[in-house]
Structure 1
């Protein structure tokens, strides 16, 4: 587990997310508490439950990005799911427990990738030998005399010994050619595992997802993948052989056990659109929709509270998985959730709306800023572009204006405006190779002023 301090976590998040300092500090403390918990005596450790979080705020202000970057930073299994995909038991739809199975799948893939890297050097060595075997199949005597057959393989052994120096010399030459990349584009025929034709698709019947998973596993065991000969370029065949050799060196049971432990102790589940399943107290007459919403909350409660979920990799305890819920909460509020579920999300933070100052920072400061992305994209065509400070200020002001006059979609508005500004340039870029172009305020205005001024038109275009 990462042992970054809260200050270091916030510093890393600052590289990608502008503003929202209070929310960053809250998640940083939550992650540090997980590290602290691991240092405590085991008897007390199990008593310390994670402090789940609710992030509130309009779309596009960084709720999802904070959770996603946090997971990458700490190398924790992370899964994002929308609460609206779940339905109450008894209705057709996704089972709430399926998100734990999905998280476990991610954890297994993550650990498998790490273990593959550990054995990669040995796997590469074995793959190289197998590749040379494909390029230089061993020369066995095709026709053997009856005497040779009854006398064992003495004559064959003598012949192999005589040819060995020649074969070894050729093999070493091919090895050097392969390592220097001279054989990359040549083709070689090899057998690869293809998926079995027997496929079982189970409909999402409430409570039957686990049975569907078990049936698929049973059929995959009954009809294992077949080996099929295919021609591949040597560089592709080498990678396929590395993957096969690495799988031979890895213990799948150890991978599954390590993944289960990591999911249980470090897993992060990001449940978006939490406000959509809250039953509004002022809703007239209630109705079946609110009943269904409350049903999803009640199904969600035991998973958040701590239960055991059966997955194809074994039983997974959810007691110490960190849940981060998010939603706009324009119409509903956290207090509209059932009281038991509210109690499982003790930490709440409201993210503020973005204004032109934040938009300008978003365009200039993050490592993955939109301006950096567009410069890199057009550089592939030999076109060098740059943005003046005035141009970026104009873009930021327009983003704020349009968000105020139409729907507030936060920083996502910048994507639409930037694409509109650079659409013609992107289209003509192949014809402008070698040119340097400065995007200034006048250029920005010429591209979007007519749309910005026409409020009805901007609703559809920007």
Structure 2
């Protein structure tokens, strides 16, 4: 039985709105938690003239440290919270992620010789291949991109070429690197913001020992500033000019994925903004009078930009891609042709894309707007259903570059039942929480859940096997009337979903399916 409850548990504070499985009672409870994270406590005021402030270390965030040192067993446990079964695939990607960390611990001479062991996942539609990639992206503290093989065309045809994969990965790495550095420098920037605001309020700090009293006054103002007692005080600061884009009538069209076009666009945007060919330092500014509560955020962004200018973000982003980048290529079977019906085809998304992928997977240098990127040590994970073709139908060279083969199993009725009950935030929990926003308590009985799984498995066998995605169709059919009428129900109403309700809502679907088999 699945219900909505207001029970608060300790784990709810960590995971938010979740549904938890209780093996003793055989129930899954859905509940909502509304909590706000407490702000960092204010520093204790001090009477000393010199305030000792701990210099923030450029250490990694605790969460990032945990993610970068995840053991394979930890990765599998985390994947088990979201994905049912497919242990072979989970273990393969967990080992692949761990090997990225292991390689970085080797001596430089040996590290150059160790290349990633690329993975090929084979399994029917809806068995969890894409979900594994999505959860990997959340776990990996590294540049990660998921692409569809069918989105690319052979070089020389209209469309995206495979080199764009690395360029998109570089964009992701640049944003990830900038975010990491921003988090590391935020505390240092906050101290600089305090000094800037104090300078605006009482002038520059005293530099001579005879003006100790002024130093004490500055420390008192610092304490008041940290306690928020001066938030309403107004100060005059310089902010970037909020004027419309001055393009000077220059508009550059073309493929922005081309590094040359992107570089020219960036150059012209700097020239048109008044900053010349250099950085933001020459950008026009204007003076504004703002309350300290508002000025603090504006100055913080300025100070963060100044600190980031001292770091070569492009170099670090390129290094992150080259040493830790992960590329997940989905639907790779769609660019394969069966050898039994091999013909010369003009399909620009077929074998030509495979040939273009060869140097990318083997290792080559790609030109991007951030610099040249070497793909020798990027980990590639490919996946496909391979129900119309076989893995052996891929180009032999590409097969050799995907040495680790992992087969995922099709989903049975029991697997579908587990998908509905075991994962965190499963489909039934989502429905419970959605209806609970209307003040209605939605209850799924266990027999109803088993009937949903049985019907989904039957439709997969008789119509088209789309795996776990069939559950979305079945549940939406059951919830159609309840979702429509929930807003009109009285608050506190309990809506039960039993086996009879499920059978009644799905009977016409099964009848239509039976008749469709006799239509030519």
TM-score range, shorter chain: 0.7 to 0.9
SS of alignment partner, residue 312 of structure 2: helix
2:270 is equivalent to residue 221 of structure 1: yes
Q: Give how far 1:4 is off.
A: 2.4
Change (3 A) 1:253 1:193: farther
1:261 equivalent in structure 2: 319
1:66 CA drift (Å): 1.0
Q: 1:202, 1:457 → 2: CA distance?
A: 55
1:449 corresponds to which of 502, 507, 520: 507
In 2: Cα distance, 1:64 partner to 1:229 partner: 51
Query: Residues of 2 paired with 1:6 and 1:64: CA distance?
Result: 19
CA–CA distance in 2 between the matches of 1:278 and 1:10?
A: 31
Name 2:341's counterpart in structure 1: 283
Q: Secondary structure at the match of 1:288?
A: coil
- Residue 113 of structure 1: how far off its partner (Å): 1.2
What do the CA deviations read for 1:193-212 (whole angstroms, capped 9, x no partner)? 7673648564459xx72332
Q: TM-score, normalised by structure 2?
A: 0.72
Match of 1:145 in 2: none
CA distance in 2, matches of 1:423, 1:259: 47
**Distance change >3 Å, CA 174–CA 118, structure 1 → 2:** closer
Q: Which residue of structure 2 aligns with residue 438 of structure 1?
A: 496
Q: Is the 8 A contact 2:239 2:287 kept in 1?
A: yes
Distance 1:317 1:406, change over 3 A: same
Cα pair 1:452 1:458 within 8 Å, conserved:
no
By percentage of residues, which structure has more helix?
1
* C-alpha deviation, 1:48, in angstroms: 1.1
Q: Distance in 1 between matches of 2:124 and 2:477?
A: 23
SS at match of 2:373: strand
CA deviation digits over 1:432-453, x for unaligned, max 9?
3222323222222232222233
Give the equivalent residue in structure 1 for 2:259: 210
Hey, what's the Cα distance between the residues in 1 that align with 2:77 and 2:294? 40
Residues 93, 204 of structure 1: 8 Å contact kept: no
- Displacement of 1:21 in angstroms is 0.9
Relative distance call for 1:292 and 1:362 in structure 2 (3 A) is closer
Deviation at 1:424, TM superposition (A): 2.3
Structure 1 pair 45–412 and aligned structure 2 pair: CA distance change class (3 A) = same
Check conservation: 2:238, 2:285, Cα contact below 8 A. Answer: no
Matched residue, 1:314: 371
Contact in 1 for aligned 2:364/2:374 (Cα 8 Å): yes
Aligned to 2:397: 340
- Judge conservation of contact 2:416–2:453 (CA < 8 Å) in 1: yes
User: Cα distance, 1:293 vs. partner?
Assistant: 1.9
* Structure 1 segment 230-379 matched on structure 2, within 5 A: 242-251=300-309, 253-283=311-341, 285-289=343-347, 293-379=350-436
1:427 Cα shift? 2.4
**Matches of residues 79-158 of structure 1 in structure 2 within 5 Å?**
79-124=145-190
The number of aligned residues is 424
Match in the other structure for 1:147: none
Q: Which moved more, 1:85-94 or 1:332-341?
A: 332-341
Q: Which runs of 5+ in 1 are unaligned?
A: 140-165
Change (3 A) 1:372 1:235: farther
Query: Could you say what secondary structure the match of 2:380 adopts?
Result: strand
Does residue 49 of structure 1 match 2:112? no
Instruction: Tell me how far 1:119 sits from its aligned partner.
Output: 2.2
CA deviations 1:50-90 (Å, max 9, x no partner) are 11111112222111211221232231211011111111111
Asked whether the equivalents of residues 444 and 497 of structure 2 are also in contact (C-alpha less than 8 Å), the reply is: yes
CA RMSD of aligned residues (A): 3.6
Structure 2: distance between partners of 1:327 and 1:236: 51
Please give the residue correspondences for 1:391-406 in structure 2 after superposition, counting only pairs within 5 Å: 391-406=448-463
Distance 2:291 2:440 in 1: 34
Cα deviation digits, residues 348-389 of structure 1 (max 9, x gap): 112111121111111111112112222222222222223211
Structure 2 contact 263–369 (Cα < 8 Å) conserved: yes
